[in-house]
Structure 1
Amino acid sequence: MKIRFVTLYYPPEVGAAQRRISELARRLSLRGHEVTVLTGFPNYPSGIKPEGYRGRFTMREEIDGVTIVRVPHYIAPNQGFVRRLGIHLSFAFSASLWTLFHKRPDIIYLESPPLFNGFIGLVSRWIRRTPYLFNVADLWPQTAIELGALKNKWIIAASQKLERLFYNQARTVLAVTDGIRRFILNMGYPENKVALITNGVDHTIFSDAVPPDPAVLELKREGSIVALYAGTHGMAHALGGILEAAIRLRQEKIVFLFVGDGPEKEKLVQKATEEHLDKVYFWAPRPQAEMPGILRAADIAVIPLRDLPLFDSAMPSKCFEALAAGAPVMLSVRGEMADHVRAAGCGVTA
């Protein structure tokens, strides 16, 4: 079967969507399918292309039996509504053009967010007569509304109409959590329209048999505990709460380690500097291959999210990875993920 994944986010970028889609593409290729990934150039969230990708307009790679096609789009740091809108729309436009003039697959797997990837699906279905699956990893525009990032009633109404259009035209809507699936079903869709395919973890990569990262072990000098947050530093993640904990625990033997990048990182670094938090460390994003060792060396994996009803259905992939690596979790998420953690006795929850 000829399968095409369409996603703005893909390795060597590090993130939940990047890991999930690349692993799914690789495994489908191993099963004998002809797999192509249509994506952009790596730059998230810094807006900087890594070496090897600069000066290229388009690019084609072959990795693990998967053909990766990179198309041009607007590149900027993932900060501010207008910039993000430009990034998302430019990729949707560029990928739609590519779709028009290249051989069609048997099925297309579209990743959302960005919601605007749905335009690529419409081009595929209406013009190229190719069905698409619409994978909903986060509910948009609902997430932006509840976070307060989207307030204009006209833009909200238009976004919700687009959301329904993309769902309507999809062969199947895929949800990564049961909560997302229930939300979509409550919009009036039949049971057979919305399928559940959850996040997971590869136990051959994330394992308690992996050697601990030496740099993290170094932070444990004098008996310190290392509390780790690894992931995007975004407005949904309530990372200021970790700094508040660091302020209250500054006399204790506990080190707080942030690994990753994102629009909130600069503010977090500034706050830590102002408060003279000498036991708070910020590391740049690490390659995916290093993350199992970093998690293995941590004493606690901290996984926060904003206290919003929408996130009760969240099942962060970083939680699966931490548990597979043997790190107990401190989870501020209610709902599905918290139920799993409590049932397994592998951490504490809100």
Structure 2
Amino acid sequence: MQKLMIITCYFPPEIGAASNRIFHLAHGLKTDYDVTVVTPLPNYPTGKIFPEFRGKFKIKTQENSIKVVRLWLYASKSKNKFLRLFAMLSYSISLVWFFLWNKIPDKVIVQSPPLLVAYTSMFFLRSKKRKLILNVSDLWPSAGYELGALKKGFSYKTLQKLERFNYKSADLILGQSNEILAHIGKIASKPQLFLYRNYPDIKRLSIAPTTTDDTLKIVYAGLLGVAQGILKLCKELNYHNVELHIYGSGAEEDDIKLFIEKHNDLPIYFYGRVDRALLHEELRRYDIVIIPLLNRIYGSVPSKIFEYAKLGMPMLYFGGGEGEDIINDCKLGWVSKAGDYAQLNFTIESIDKEVLTSETRTKIQEYAYRYFDFEKQLRALKTQL
């Protein structure tokens, strides 16, 4: 069986869209390839190596018929840009060491971002005999600038050079949105471009009964980071006949807990991080799920859209861009302009609970399983590899 390697910064037991996406990709390819995943020791989103992996430099395991090699890195979630850079650099150094002492297969999929890790892989693995596939989930450094995490200057220009090098060194580029592929097409003409959405491969669940009282129960689940802006959402939401339920963990977690403690009169409920299978059961207890982004990020299409659709959950999308178009075109719920909380509250007030029926949920789920087909997309990808 032909061998294939996937190089990524995120992989289970870490949570989040990135680790889930790579897991499903690796799991889907293992029937045709002998798959090896190279990833750091688990540390996301806590910024600390998970207890059971501490004190290790390298761990090899066999997980679901996939070889997983976990390498050392300096884990950190510090806001200090130098510490964050060192964290990425430490994993890049571990990768170089791994490349020197191990036979690398002729097909390698590299996850980007982080740009530095992707650059390290693309630079050291270039070969006429090897096919390099770059899996681009976000457009850095432009996404970092739109989030306010980066400023234009020397560092930004350096990252742009790494970005261009990565694109031009790839033989095939997988992009999760049409915006990403359009951006890459303006920079590099060599690689083939393939739209690879973050469709989840999840068990189909029955449609849960809807709530019967007048209160609109809104739920958010996922990373509690700067990009999502959940703390600001807690502060700006109009709670008239509305409840907000929050699942997840991340940089804003402590601040959110503190806000809830200081405003215990508000109907905000925090549950922390839960297992994904349990989360799917929990989500169905609520009326709608909210998918917020603090700012519109060019190229970004949250994978939650496809996952929640397969659960049959109506969505309130607050992020703009291509994700907004998908919600509207596929009739998956409501949209509101990113960053406009007055419009968000108006949109919420306009939602009639009488339309949030089991029939509505069934239509959403049926559409998702027909058009957000993981297996069909995977078969198309295999013809390109």
Q: Same fold (TM over 0.5)?
A: yes
Alignment equivalent of 1:307, drawn from 281, 295, 304: 295
- How far did residue 183 of structure 1 move? 1.2
Q: Is the 8 A contact 1:234 1:262 kept in 2?
A: yes
Equivalent position of 1:168 in the other structure? 168
Mapped to 2, the partners of 1:84 and 1:230 lie a distance apart of 25
Give the 3-state SS of the residue equivalent to 2:32 in structure 1. coil
1:196 aligns with 2:195: yes
Mapped to 2, the partners of 1:148 and 1:346 lie a distance apart of 30
Equivalent position of 1:66 in the other structure? 66
What CA deviation, in whole Å up to 9, does each residue of 1:46-66 have, x standing for no partner? 123334322322111111110
- How far did residue 346 of structure 1 move? 2.3
Residue type of the alignment partner of 2:164 = R
Equivalent position of 1:49 in the other structure? 49
Equivalent position of 2:273 in the other structure? 285
Give the 3-state SS of the residue equivalent to 1:74 in structure 2. coil
More displaced, 12-21 or 81-90?
Answer: 81-90
Structure 1 unpaired stretches of 5+ = none
Equivalent position of 2:307 in the other structure? 321
Q: Is the 8 A contact 1:14 1:285 kept in 2?
A: no
Equivalent position of 1:296 in the other structure? 284
* Residues 204-219 of structure 1 mapped to structure 2, 5 A cutoff: 204-205=202-203, 207-209=204-206
Q: Is the 8 A contact 2:46 2:250 kept in 1?
A: yes
Query: Structure 1 residues 78 and 15 mapped into 2: Cα distance closer, same or farther (>3 Å)?
Result: farther
Alignment equivalent of 1:239, drawn from 225, 230, 239: 230
TM-score, normalised by the number of residues in structure 1 = 0.87
Q: Is the 8 A contact 2:168 2:190 kept in 1?
A: no
Mapped to 2, the partners of 1:80 and 1:262 lie a distance apart of 16
What CA deviation, in whole Å up to 9, does each residue of 1:149-173 have, x standing for no partner? 1115010111111111111111122
> What is the percentage of aligned positions where both structures have the same residue?
29
Q: CA RMSD in A?
A: 2.4
Give the 3-state SS of the residue equivalent to 2:244 in structure 1. strand
Mapped to 2, the partners of 1:245 and 1:83 lie a distance apart of 32
What CA deviation, in whole Å up to 9, does each residue of 1:86-109 have, x standing for no partner? 221111111121022101112111
What CA deviation, in whole Å up to 9, does each residue of 1:16-53 have, x standing for no partner? 11111111101111x23100000011111112333432
Q: Is the 8 A contact 1:342 1:349 kept in 2?
A: yes
Matched residue pairs, number?
Answer: 334
Residue type of the alignment partner of 2:292 = P
Mapped to 2, the partners of 1:163 and 1:224 lie a distance apart of 47
Give the 3-state SS of the residue equivalent to 2:125 in structure 1. helix
- How far did residue 190 of structure 1 move? 2.5
Query: Structure 1 residues 222 and 255 mapped into 2: Cα distance closer, same or farther (>3 Å)?
Result: same
Q: Is the 8 A contact 1:78 1:262 kept in 2?
A: no
Mapped to 1, the partners of 2:190 and 2:178 lie a distance apart of 12
Mapped to 2, the partners of 1:210 and 1:53 lie a distance apart of 38
Equivalent position of 1:271 in the other structure? 259
Mapped to 1, the partners of 2:52 and 2:318 lie a distance apart of 39
TM-score, normalised by the number of residues in structure 2 = 0.80
Give the 3-state SS of the residue equivalent to 2:53 in structure 1. coil
Query: Structure 1 residues 289 and 274 mapped into 2: Cα distance closer, same or farther (>3 Å)?
Result: same
Equivalent position of 1:230 in the other structure? 221
What CA deviation, in whole Å up to 9, does each residue of 1:208-266 have, x standing for no partner? 42779xxxx9xx897754311111112211324421344x31x53x3312211222222
Equivalent position of 2:25 in the other structure? 24
Structure 2 unpaired stretches of 5+ = 337-385
